[in-house]
Amino acid sequence: MEFVRRYETGAGWCPDNRGMAQQTASTAVEQSPSERPQRSPWLGFLLRRTVRLVVSLFALITFAFLIIHLVPGDPVRKALGLNASPELVSSIRAELGFDLPLWQQYLKYLGDLFSGNLGVSLASRLPVGETIGNLLPNTLLLAVIAFVVVMVIAVPLGMLMAVLTQNGRRRGVELSFTTVSIVVSAIPEFLLAVGLVYLFAVTNPWFPIAGMDGPASFVLPVAALALGPIAAMSRIVRVEALAVLGLDFIRTARAKRLPAWRIYLRHALPNALTATLTLSGLLLSGLVAGTVLVETIFAWPGLGPSLVSSILDNDYPLVQAIVLVYGGLVLLINFVVDILLGLADPRSTIKET
Amino acid sequence: MSSLEFRNLTVTFGRGEKTVVAVDAVSLVVPDRTVVGLVGESGSGKSTLARAAVGLVDARSGDILVDGQPATTGRRRRGGLQMVFQDPYSSLDPRMSIGASIAEALPSDVRRAERRGAVAELLEQVGLDPLLAPRMPSGLSGGQRQRIALARALAAEPAVLIADEITSALDVSVQGQVLNLLREVQRGLAMSVLFISHNLATVCYLSDIVAVMERGRIVEIGPTEQIVADPQHPYTRELLESAPRLGEKIDPEQLAVPD
Amino acid sequence: MSTTDIAEKMVDRAAARAGTGRGGLLRRLATSPLGMAALLVDLLLLLLVVFGPMIWGAAAEEFDVDNMNSPPTDGHLFGTDSLGRDILLRVLVATRLSIGLALGATAIGAVIGLLLGAIPAVAGPRVGRAVVAVVNVAVAFPGLLLALFFASIFGASPSGAMLALGVAFAPGFARLTQTLTAGVVGRDYVSAARVIGVGRLRIIGRHLLPNVADTLVVNISLSAGGALLAFAGLSFLGLGVQAPSYDWGRMLFDGLDGIYVNPAAALAPGLAIVLAGLALNLTGEVGAQLVGRRVGSARLPAKPATGAATSVADGPDGSPGADDLVLDLRGLTVSFPRGRGEKSVPVRGVDLRIARGEAVGILGESGSGKSLTAMSVARLVPDPARVDVQSLTFEGRDLSANTSRELRRMLGTTMSVVFQDLMSSFNPVMKVGRQLAEVATEHQGIGRRAALDRAIGRLRSVSISRAEQRALQYPHELSGGMRQRAMIAMGLMGSPTLLIADEPTTALDATVQRRVLQLIAGVRAAEQSALLLISHDVAVVAAMCDRILVMYAGRVVEDIPVDDLLAGPRHPYSRALLAAVPTIQTDRSQSLRTIEGRPPQPADYPIGCAFAERCAFASEKCQQDPVLEPIDNGSVACWHPQQGPVPGVVIDSPAVVSRQRATTATAGPVMPSHEPSRTRERGR
Ligand SMILES: Nc1ncnc2c1ncn2[C@@H]1O[C@H](COP(=O)(O)OP(=O)(O)OP(=O)(O)O)[C@@H](O)[C@H]1O
Ligand code: SF4
Ligand SMILES: [Mg+2]
């Protein structure tokens, strides 16, 4: 699973937060916080994150704007095909504002964007905003349901596996769990989707093969999206939980002679969760990306098929808008995760300098 | 002649509101053939001073002079500053043989053919078997590693050696070996040494002059006997009183009555 | 030494123990069965890439007009496609394009990523920060999404998709490179190289790259697997390989249309993708495990496994004064399995008795088994260890039996453990007050509010100012000394009859150390509790304890009252240890006394006296195990016990000095002092 690798290489916005096992390094903060009155670092943290979000959004918008200008050749000619009349081409060029200097185009683009005007699709001649408004909710619904399914299954499963296989106990369980999880997480969602269609729609026609029509139609797409992440996520949760269980403060908790459930739930879990939270941000972003493929296979009325067809048709206004939507979603998800991390782990607000 | 002088050295970290003054207008002289000990608690700026001397951190203002000339780091020339670091487990490149680590520090005019011999000689000098040269550092003890680090520093034929907490990661029985070695080398080569430690006992044992650092400033400096016998600054006195002595008993602190 | 330094040292030591860096990655890969399997599949793929199109290229293009869209038959193992071409052959031939494009994308990503990642290390700080910031944002985007974004620029073609994917993978590589190099740049050996004057390029070439290469290679392999899948995805969407060319993704796309007629046409390329992806991923995974990047098995605390020896426990026997003992531990052995049925035994038969209110110190060098002994008493030894005792009695209760709820409660309130702080002994996400209060709510049945009040009271009693506020802060907001006080306050939540402190001040500065020691002494005085203090510092244990156990190589070699120790211990090791520690009073004109050599590792403890190799008094007889025999007021395990004050050791206490004078007449040498220049440490 790609999001796992990104996580492990320290991706994510608040990289230092991952892996509680690295917490020894955090002692660097203690210069002498002894007697100084503590000003809450929260406000600054929130502010920095907001500034970062805004800057990133601007970068994204600029990227989306540039797409059309980075395309080799004449984008309009490309979009309309070789046999479009020169008049049509030049009228579309004018409509897109291609006659203006680049910086004016940029300003116009920004202006349009903030007034909610996303332009008109070159292929369907429909307003892009409307298309997105119709399709986005379906995509979000799919991604969010898959996300919830992953979290609800993977986190308890990972914790359970950690407790069961603590230092070398139940080697067999550990081995089969890791093997299954490695194999399942190596199967990309579009292959899972094909396999699921074959098994549960073609061979055994239990679920609809395509379309969005009632609860049953959600089963296969959600399963295709969620299976891999469940495998990967539960593995990571297990490793993180094991790492947390090996930390010194767990020994302190044992020295207090707390009962086992209390050590696991009150001390280990919250600490393993910070890692899980970091991961869940990447996971949700990954799921959003995964919908593109899964929607295409299941003919889901979401944004994915439109993104693909707009790229194939060189329908740049639509491409630009969809890039903005997906990109914005990713940025937003990360922003929220960051804030949650700040809430869950009091050190993260201070750690970054 | 080999001496090191800090003149009004100031080092700061961070910018704006969060600026930390790590070294605050410090002036300190390490005279020829002398060991100057620098004590102070963690965070008092000892290591920053050392790192500034060898150019690992930039000074904000002030001068660092070696034999009266502005210190130039590196360039693989003789007569400069060298430093031995605290942590024996991170100061040697795990992917480089011991011999190569030491050879890297030899002045650039030492000819290729002579290098092997020079490395063997240095290993001898720090009490190690020259046959160790082709080996990798993994599997060596902390004491052995510190000896190698010392050999590497000596390879550059420095005028002044800075030893930053070189024994604090070592066991007591090994600590003595390394301290004895440093002393022997300093006397044998007539070097000047800036010896940094948070441990007053080792500093007093090794140094001719002791400087006491607190929160970025040198609060007291003088000949070792004088500092031990007649400390002037309250902080020096506190340090001396805190150092555990063999045979004393620690007085219990009166606990506040818990409610 | 600051806590940071110690923490780093521990991390480094762990890294050193993991023993990375020996043997080539490939060779180590090949030695694990899983890695073997992955390498085999890799080899097979390689053969297919090279020879596949040569052998079957033409056959895969042959139309079989009689068998269009046929399901699997004898002639066509996986059936045919809509033009009657053999699916199996096409899958085999498509290996080259599928893998080639994936590797191409990985290579593009790796090169761009490495360059981006190296910029912060090479360029100035300002440019570096900007690059880091951009990479940080980009890396949060899923690779496929980025690839789609870029595909809209580069167009729907194989080269376009490869470029798009490569660019999409770059941020991940850049980030990895940054993280890795930042880790290495902070190392002292890089600083040392800079001080020596090694040039920037040479530092990158000789010190940086070799130390990050393994991890990078492993990640490139993992990414190649990811790129393969992603590329198949792009082709599948119609954005990658275009007909008449074909790769697995394209075949899957074509096959999906006919899934009702011939499912094999979709499943066969799918299977190929999974297998190849799995092989590449597995190579990376196994490599990663070997490089030791991941947490394989963590060291975990758990209750001691009480072994066979327990069954022969004779329980609290009727030995004189047994009632006055807080703790009675006999025949403690701790061992670790070392694989292949072997084990190392770092603690070998330790007896420990502590009287009510007595302060006992354990003194010894690193690795002598001090901590394991103390943690065995507290039943907190990490799990792979096997703890065997003949008997372990605390407050008259047998601890070697299983824990009952009631026993746990008793331990929770009467035995407290103070760990070396290192910041990590407190739960970082729980407020300090609550961590203390937990003891009371759990064991004393007090409500949360009342428990918090009690916690605040205890914090106040250990002289923490503004205790109400401190209780509501998180551990990282307290200074090191304050955390150690809070830790002691935690032990005071009950009424401890035994306080176990493992190096409670090692990470602290001298002035803070003294105050913490005073506090522990105060607790002892106020609670009348016994103390088990572990330290490697003679002065500290001597200042705090009544009696001292000296440990060497997993055994107690001497058990002696403090005053006798100062007056001159009997065991040569104790004497050498005492002489080796410089104090402010140490004569500066003399070399320090040293103990040559180093302590043996648990895996190779010798037969006979473990100190013999370093001992000046060793004789033939010392090849037999010396046993702990009573002598004077203590006991010693040595065939040739010494006596008299240790020369060169200056003692402050008048009582001891007078005792020393009394024995001066018989004083012998500590140990012949060695000239360091003549010493040679032997390499292993
Ligand atoms: N998890 C483990 N696996 C294998 N060996 C171990 C493990 N933990 C400890 N040991 C070994 O047990 C021996 C004694 O360890 P212990 O921690 O008791 O020493 P110590 O005297 O407290 O040392 P220090 O002064 O460094 O704290 C050491 O040699 C160590 O190598
Ligand atoms: S038993 Fe022998 S070798 Fe061991 S300490 Fe005594 S005299 Fe030395
Ligand atoms: Mg220990």
- pLDDT tens sequence across B98-125: 999 999 888 888 888 888 999 999 998 8
CA closest to C271 among chain A residues: A191
Tokens of B153: 């520093």
CA distance B240 to B224: 12
- Kindly tell me if the per-residue pLDDT of C280 is higher than 60: yes
- What's the DSSP call for residue A127? B
Tokens of C435: 């961590």
Query: Over the stretch B118-148, which tens digit does the pLDDT of each residue have?
Result: 999 999 888 888 888 888 888 788 888 999 9
- Compute, in angstroms, the gap from residue C301 CA to the centroid of ligand 1: 14
Q: Are C444 and C410 in contact (CB under 8 A)?
A: no
Q: Are C402 and C411 in contact (CB under 8 A)?
A: no
Count of positions (residues) in chain A:
353
Closest CB from B14, B18, B43 relative to A32: B43
Question: What residues 554-583 of chain C have any CB closer than 8 A to a CB of chain B?
Answer: 566, 576-578, 580-583
CA distance B24 to B10: 5
What is the 3 state secondary structure string of C594-637?
A: CCCCCCCCHHHCCCCCCCHHHCCCCCHHHHCCCCCEEECCEEEC
The pLDDT value given to residue A178: 82
ipTM value for the complex: 0.85
Query: Over the stretch C119-145, which tens digit does the pLDDT of each residue have?
Result: 776 666 778 788 888 887 888 788 788
C137 and C216: one domain? yes
Atom 12 (ligand 1) nearest CA: C346
Cβ contact C137–A59 (<8 Å):
yes
- List average pLDDT for each run of 10 residues in chain A, which is 353 residues long: 60 38 33 44 80 88 82 72 75 74 81 79 78 87 91 88 78 82 80 83 76 79 89 84 84 87 85 78 84 86 85 82 88 86 69 42
Mean pLDDT (chain C) is 78
Ranked by mean pLDDT, the top range of A178-187, B208-217, C303-312, C487-496 is: B208-217
Ligand 1 is surrounded, with C-beta below 6 A, by C 299, 336, 346, 364, 366-372, 382, 384, 536, 602
Mutate to test the pocket of ligand 1, among C299, C336, C536, C605 (most ligand atoms within 8 A of CB): C336
Which range of residues forms the domain containing residue C396?
325-666
Residues 6+ apart with CB under 8 A from C457: B258, B259, C467
* CB contact B19 to A (< 8 Å): no
The angle at the Cα of B3, spanning B2 to B7, to the nearest 5 degrees, equals: 155
More confident: C30 or B12? B12
Chain C residues with CB-CB distance to A70 below 8 A: 153
Cite the DSSP H helix spans in C479-550: 480-491, 510-527, 538-544
Does an H or E element contain A231, and which?
Answer: helix A216-245
In a domain, C320, yes or no: no
Give me the mean pLDDT over the C400-428 stretch: 81
Cβ contact C584–B169 (<8 Å):
no
C102 and C170: one domain? yes
Q: Are C397 and C409 in contact (CB under 8 A)?
A: no
- Kindly tell me if the per-residue pLDDT of C164 is higher than 50: yes
C28 and C164: one domain? yes
C356 and C281: one domain? no
Q: Shortest Cα distance from C93 to chain B (angstroms)?
A: 42
Q: Which amino acid is it at B206? A: L
CA distance A229 to C281: 16
* CB contact B229 to C (< 8 Å): no
CA closest to C614 among chain B residues: B173
Does an H or E element contain A108, and which?
Answer: helix A102-114
Atom of ligand 1 nearest to the CA of C373: 18
Cα dihedral value B242, B244, B245, B250, nearest 10: 80
Count of positions (residues) in chain B:
259
As a whole number of angstroms, the longest Cα–Cα distance in chain C is 114
Helix (H/G/I), strand (E/B), else coil: C555: strand
Ligand 2 is surrounded, with C-beta below 6 A, by C 572-573, 609, 611-612, 615, 617-618, 622, 626, 638-640
CA distance C552 to B173: 12
Residue B47: other Cβ atoms inside 10 A: 24
Last residue of a domain, one of C250, C272, C292: C292
CA distance C420 to C481: 11
Mutate to test the pocket of ligand 2, among C551, C552, C575, C617 (most ligand atoms within 8 A of CB): C617
Give me the mean pLDDT over the C525-539 stretch: 90
pLDDT band for position C328 (50/70/90)? very high
Does an H or E element contain B220, and which?
Answer: strand B217-223
- The CATH number assigned to the domain holding C575 equals 3.40.50.300
Residues 6+ apart with CB under 8 A from C456: C433, C467, C468, C471
In a domain, C572, yes or no: yes
The structure tokens 């792009």 sit at C234
In a domain, C680, yes or no: no
- Kindly tell me if the per-residue pLDDT of C319 is higher than 50: no
- Kindly tell me if the per-residue pLDDT of C200 is higher than 70: yes
Helix (H/G/I), strand (E/B), else coil: A39: coil
Chain C residues with CB-CB distance to B82 below 8 A: 195-196
CA distance C542 to C472: 37
Tokens of A48: 């920095």
* CB contact C659 to B (< 8 Å): no
Query: Over the stretch C490-524, which tens digit does the pLDDT of each residue have?
Result: 888 888 899 999 988 877 788 888 888 998 998 88
Chain B residues with CB-CB distance to C511 below 8 A: 41, 238-239, 242
The pLDDT value given to residue C558: 95
- Mean pLDDT is lowest, of B73-82, C149-158, C345-354, for B73-82
In a domain, C681, yes or no: no
Tokens of B1: 């002649």
- Kindly tell me if the per-residue pLDDT of C422 is higher than 70: no
The structure tokens 């002036």 sit at B27
C351 and C410: one domain? yes
Tokens of C390: 């003949």
Cβ contact C424–A24 (<8 Å):
yes
Cα dihedral value C231, C236, C238, C242, nearest 10: 70
Helix (H/G/I), strand (E/B), else coil: C575: helix
- Write the DSSP string, A270-328: HHHHHHHHHHHHHHHHHHHHHHHHHHHHTT-SSHHHHHHHHHHTT-HHHHHHHHHHHHH
In a domain, C675, yes or no: no
Question: What residues 286-315 of chain C have any CB closer than 8 A to a CB of chain A?
Answer: 293-295, 297-302
CA distance A17 to C136: 14
- What's the DSSP call for residue C180? H
* CB contact C9 to B (< 8 Å): yes
CA distance B16 to B36: 34
* CB contact C604 to B (< 8 Å): no
CA distance C134 to C416: 50
Cβ contact A345–C378 (<8 Å):
no
Helix (H/G/I), strand (E/B), else coil: C501: strand
The pLDDT value given to residue B223: 94
Atom of ligand 1 nearest to the CA of C368: 21
C515 and C648: one domain? yes
Atom of ligand 2 nearest to the CA of C612: 3
Cβ contact C479–A245 (<8 Å):
no
More confident: B168 or A26? B168
In a domain, C9, yes or no: no
Residues 6+ apart with CB under 8 A from C100: C49
- Compute, in angstroms, the gap from residue C625 CA to the centroid of ligand 2: 9
- What's the DSSP call for residue C682? P
- The CATH number assigned to the domain holding C142 equals 1.10.3720.10
- Kindly tell me if the per-residue pLDDT of C212 is higher than 60: yes
* CB contact C377 to A (< 8 Å): no
* CB contact B20 to A (< 8 Å): yes
Atom 1 (ligand 2) nearest CA: C638
- Compute, in angstroms, the gap from residue B189 CA to the centroid of ligand 3: 38
The pLDDT value given to residue C546: 93
C232 and C350: one domain? no
CA closest to C239 among chain A residues: A312
Chain B residues with CB-CB distance to C518 below 8 A: 250-253
CA distance A82 to B41: 78
Mutate to test the pocket of ligand 2, among C639, C643, C670 (most ligand atoms within 8 A of CB): C639
- Show which subunits contact B, needing at least 3 CB pairs below 8 angstroms: A, C
CA distance A90 to A84: 10
pLDDT band for position C655 (50/70/90)? low
Strand order in the sheet with C634-636: C415-418, C498-502, C530-535, C359-363, C547-552, C555-561, C634-636, C629-631
The number of domains in chain C is 2
CA distance C252 to C255: 5
Residues 6+ apart with CB under 8 A from A349: A41, A42, A44, A45, A342
Question: What residues 6-65 of chain B have any CB closer than 8 A to a CB of chain C?
Answer: 41-43, 51, 54-56
In a domain, C319, yes or no: no
C365 and C248: one domain? no
CA distance A69 to C153: 9
For residue A27, how far is the Cα from the chain centroid? 31
C283 and C335: one domain? no
Mutate to test the pocket of ligand 1, among C372, C422, C500, C604 (most ligand atoms within 8 A of CB): C372
Chain C residues with CB-CB distance to A71 below 8 A: 152-153, 155
Q: Are C29 and C290 in contact (CB under 8 A)?
A: yes
In a domain, C6, yes or no: no
C254 and C361: one domain? no
Residue B97: other Cβ atoms inside 10 A: 17
Q: Shortest Cα distance from B22 to chain A (angstroms)?
A: 11
pTM: 0.77
The DSSP bridge partners found for residue C500 are: C417, C532
The pLDDT value given to residue C492: 83
- What's the DSSP call for residue C306? B
pLDDT band for position B41 (50/70/90)? confident
Last residue of a domain, one of C267, C292, C317: C292
Q: Are C376 and C389 in contact (CB under 8 A)?
A: yes
Helix (H/G/I), strand (E/B), else coil: A167: helix
Is C204 exposed, middle or buried, given 0-12, 13-18 or 19+ CB atoms closer than 10 A?
A: middle
Atom of ligand 1 nearest to the CA of C554: 14
The structure tokens 């002393």 sit at B183
The pLDDT value given to residue C76: 67
C288 and C331: one domain? no
- Mean pLDDT is lowest, of B127-141, C73-87, C464-478, C535-549, for C73-87
C509 and C644: one domain? yes
Chain A residues with CB-CB distance to B20 below 8 A: 31
> What b-and-e string marks burial along C38-60, b requiring 16 or more CB atoms within 10 Å of the CB?
bbebbeebeebbeebbeebeeeb
